[in-house]
Amino acid sequence: MEGKGSVSRSERRAKRWKKYYKRQRELHRQIGDAGKDILQSRNFRYTREHIQHGNMTVNNHCMNVARYSLAWSQKLHINCNRRELIRGALLHDYFLYDWHDEDYIKPHKLHGFYHPGRALRNADREYQLTDRERDIIKKHMWPLTIVPPMCREGWIVTMADKWCSMMETLRIHRGHGALIEKLRDYRAEERE
């Protein structure tokens, strides 16, 4: 039986969810405004076909890193350039291959060391990057990259990336990778 107290509890819960969704919508709006050209590009959409961690695609991972970076910078009132923060986060893993593929490039086992450089080269080819955006992409794997980020935006993305990677590896954050893997198998079967 639902008493007066439980009704108000569920109302409070509904209010919290409403606030949460409103906040998420606002974060997505800001990401969309700052990274419209990236989000609409063919290559960025292509990252939906690549798995990052667990069953999360590279595309979902980059969106999550951008969302967390932006949310943390606002929550902690960090004075930084939010446009560069978002664009750097969206492009930080722009390496454009599936690092789980066995026969891709010889040093794929050293993907952790090599992919920031490759992401930077790919992003540089398509976008007019600022020095901050370059720093974010190039150093996001610190301490693997030895030289640490030289700007606040770089530190935020580095931390958000580690957090998201851990949540994805532990499958606390889940993506649609399984569906993509099935689609890939289906395509391979069709080619045979």
Query: Rule CB under 5 A: which of 17-56 touch Fe ion?
Result: none
Residue 92 φ/ψ, nearest 5 degrees: -65, -25
Nearer to Fe ion, 34 or 120 (CB): 120
Nearer to Fe ion, 20 or 104 (CB): 104
Identify the residue among 84, 93, 135, 168 touching Fe ion (CB under 5 A): 93
Nearest Cα residue to 133 out of 58, 71, 60, 81: 81
User: Is 135 one of the binding residues for Fe ion (CB under 5 A)?
Assistant: no
Query: What's the min distance (Å) between Cβ of 182 and Fe ion?
Result: 24
Nearer to Fe ion, 135 or 161 (CB): 161
Query: What's the min distance (Å) between Cβ of 58 and Fe ion?
Result: 8
Nearest Cα residue to 133 out of 114, 150, 111: 150
32's tokens: 């969309």
User: Is 168 one of the binding residues for Fe ion (CB under 5 A)?
Assistant: no
Rg (C-alpha) for the chain, rounded Å, is 19
Number of residues that bind Fe ion (CB under 5 A): 2
Residue 57 φ/ψ, nearest 5 degrees: -80, 160
DSSP letter string, 149-184 = PSSHHHHHHHHHHHHHHHHHHTTSS--SHHHHHHHH
* Window of 7-15, 34-42, 159-167, 168-176 that interacts with Fe ion by CB under 5 A: 159-167
User: Is 161 one of the binding residues for Fe ion (CB under 5 A)?
Assistant: yes
* Window of 80-88, 92-100, 128-136, 168-176 that interacts with Fe ion by CB under 5 A: 92-100
* 59 contacts: CB under 8 Å, gap ≥ 6: 44, 45, 47, 48, 50
Interacting residue ranges for Fe ion, rule: CB under 5 A: 93, 161
